[in-house]
Amino acid sequence: MRMSPMDARGGAGVTLAAALRSAFAPLPHDESGPTLVARAVAWVVRQQQRAALAALDDHQLADIGVSRAEAIRESRRWT
């Protein structure tokens, strides 16, 4: 399921700030570390959030203090 730009702005109850916080938050894990499935799910979620960030217009990016170059650079990350 892909996150639309509307979802990232709060259309589905998720604020952009919350999406960005979760995108940059360390993965939670217990002493044995996250499972492979948990890591894969987290990766997919981050990629969706990065796509949503790249879809924002310049005015929306300015509102959150992110430049177009920073948004593009973040959206191209694979980690």
Q: What is the pLDDT of residues 13-33, one digit of tens each?
A: 677 777 777 777 776 656 667
pLDDT of residue 28: 64
Residue 5 has pLDDT above 60, yes or no: no
The alpha carbons of the chain give a radius of gyration, in whole angstroms, of 13
Q: What is the pLDDT of residues 37-71, one digit of tens each?
A: 888 999 999 999 999 999 999 999 999 999 999 99
Q: Of residues 3 and 57, which shows the higher confidence score?
A: 57
Whole-angstrom distance, CA of residue 59 vs CA of residue 77: 23
Residue 6 has pLDDT above 60, yes or no: no
pTM: 0.55
Say if residues 23 and 49 touch (Cβ distance below 8 Å): yes
